[in-house]
Every structure is written in structure tokens, then in C-alpha cells.
Amino acid sequence: MSTQLPESETETETESDEQAPSAPVQQQRRMERKRARAEEEEREAVEEETELDGETYTLKVFRYDPEVEGKKRPRFDEFVVPYHKGMTVLDALMYARDHYDSSLTFRHSCRQAICGSDAMFVNGRQRLCCKTQLSDLTDPVRVEPLPHQEVVKDLVVDMQHFYDQMDAVEPFFQTNDLPSGLEEQHQTRENREKVKMSTRCIWCGACMSSCNIAAGDNEYLGPAAINKAYRFAMDEREGEELKQHRLEILEQEHGVWRCQTQFSCTEVCPKDIPLTEHIQELKREAVKNNLKFW
């Protein structure tokens, strides 16, 4: 069982609260019956499909829903999906959802590794489901939500903390020195090359989820946010003055010095961003800059 099971089944807003004024008892009963049926059908469907011909993969998928009786206690469901060449973990999840259990919930959109919404914990490692081939994994394939984040439902985690950390580094371009009108700022090819990898981040959250330090220190900015800061600190168009300002943000107590160079973020990054190196480089810049070790 994964480590990120919710600590307690706290009362979230249930649908009966929301509909209280207008929801007659009759409707609640119908909904209860429907829920009971839904659970039953779901089990049947999963069992039925184990009789498939041809090559299959078995998914063991983490399930949790604060509102549904049978899913309040987290569990794993098994789905057996027919395999075809080139099939990804996301394809398999979609197959399971569309054919067996329409309540199976996960984020996904572009299915080409650019929207960043389907990072999950697959066979014990943070991966983007859309670019992970089933054939690269051992069967059965265990799919869980990203560790160290609160689970909203099934494979969906709450990303708010990740976004908050991003916001903390002033994640936008700043300069006091813009050319006027139609004139562009110049940037050398070398400088663009230097920041290139850092600009590839798709905010999937895999790095943050893999980071032991972030897991233990909720205030640590974390690899994604530091990388975002790197992207601007190293961009020559912002100028020296702003670079100082950025370094001040980064060398705060829960900034770059928290990193213990375990490289887990770099290892899991689906866009191959050298996150750990970026963090180290910012540490060096901070030292050059004089500053404090926490």
C-alpha cells in the first residue's frame, strides 16, 4: 500500500450538504440505490474482463473517494486490459475507464507529454502516464497517485501546494530596461541555450513528489520552483539587479540550501531537465554573492 493514504477520512463536503435545501428524501434514496448498483457493477465488470483472449496487461489501480461508501477506505482495483503495440499506461487507464468503470478518475489531456497533467506513481516511480509504454513495465502495473500530495479522488492529487511554491519565486519575467515599441530585447544564442532546459518544465509535479526533502519540509521551495527561478535568474535579459533580487529569494532558509543533491528530481523529470544541477548552480551563485548558509 502506498505511503500517501489520507490520514483520516475527514468530512469533505458531500453532495447531500450541497443539495440540502432542494433535495427530497426520495432523491437521496435513489442516489443510494444507484451507488450500491454502481459498486456492484464495477466489481462484476472487472471480473468479467479477466477472461479476455490475447495479450493483456493487468492494472492495479489505487481507488479512493471521500464520498462513496465503498471507496472511503482506500483500496486497489484490478483491471485487465487488452494490449496492443505502442499502448501507454494512459491508454490502458482510459480503456479501463471507458469499458469497465466510468468512475475511475485521473487527470489527462494532451496525451503527448506537454500538458503535464498525468504524472502518477507507476510501478514505484513518478512518471507521465502518456509517455510510459506498458511494454517497458513489469506486469501487473501498479498505478497510484503522486506521493506526498493529498489525494482528492482515485489518482487525482491536490496540486495547490505545488502551485503555491511556484508562486513564491515570483515566477514571471521582470526587467527595468525594456526597449520601446517594436524593438525586441536581444539575447545571445548561448544565453538562450543556457536557460533552454529550464524553460521546458510542464509543471507535472513529479520532481516535487520524488523529493525527500520536500516531503519532510513543507516550506522547501522544491525543485520545480527553484528551476523556475533559475530560468529567470540566468536570463541575461532581466539584468544584474534583478538577478540579485532573485538570489535573495532563493537563499532564504527554505530555499536552495535545503537541497541535499539526491538527484531524485532529475531522475524522474519527464522533460530531462537537469534540476539538481540547476539548484547547485544557484548555490554557487549565492556563494559568489557572499551569502548566508542556513
Segment 244 to 263, residues that bind other proteins, using CB under 8 A: none
Does the footprint of other proteins cover residue 8 (CB under 8 A)? no
Q: Secondary structure of 126-149 in the HEC alphabet?
A: EEEHHHCEHHHCCCCEEEECCCCC
Residue whose C-alpha is closest to residue 172's, from 216, 119, 237, 118: 237
Stretch touching other proteins by CB under 8 A, among 2-10, 54-62, 181-189, 283-291: 181-189
For other proteins, the binding residues in 44-103 under the rule CB under 8 A are 65-68, 86, 97-99, 102-103
Residue 18 CA, chain-centre distance (Å), reads: 29
Q: Report the length, in residues, of the chain.
A: 294
Which residues contact residue 294 at a Cβ distance below 8 angstroms, ignoring those fewer than 6 apart? 253, 257, 258
Would you give the binding string for other proteins spanning residues 18-47, x where CB under 8 A is met?
xx--x----x--xx--xx-xx--x------
Cβ proximity to other proteins: between 116 and 255 the closer is 116
Would you give the binding string for other proteins spanning residues 113-152, x where CB under 8 A is met?
xxxxx-------------x--------------------x
Does the footprint of other proteins cover residue 11 (CB under 8 A)? no
Size of the site for other proteins (CB under 8 A): 72
Tell me the closest approach of the beta carbon of residue 243 to other proteins, in angstroms. 14
Tell me the closest approach of the beta carbon of residue 4 to other proteins, in angstroms. 16
Tell me the closest approach of the beta carbon of residue 290 to other proteins, in angstroms. 27
Single out the residue of 63, 148, 153, 278 in contact with other proteins (rule: CB under 8 A): 153
Cβ atoms within 10 Å, residue 228: 24
Q: Helix %, strand %, coil % for the chain, to 5?
A: 45, 10, 45
Alpha-carbon span 238 to 173, nearest angstrom: 7
Cβ proximity to other proteins: between 238 and 285 the closer is 238
Judge residue 289's burial from the number of C-beta atoms within 10 Å of its C-beta, 0-12 exposed, 13-18 middle, 19 or more buried.
middle
Does the footprint of other proteins cover residue 105 (CB under 8 A)? yes
CA angle 119/266/147 to nearest 5° reads: 40
Cβ proximity to other proteins: between 57 and 257 the closer is 57
Cβ proximity to other proteins: between 168 and 250 the closer is 168
Residue type, 217: D
CA distances from 77 to 41, 58, 177, 182 (A): 13, 10, 57, 58
Tell me the closest approach of the beta carbon of residue 93 to other proteins, in angstroms. 11
Tell me the closest approach of the beta carbon of residue 182 to other proteins, in angstroms. 5
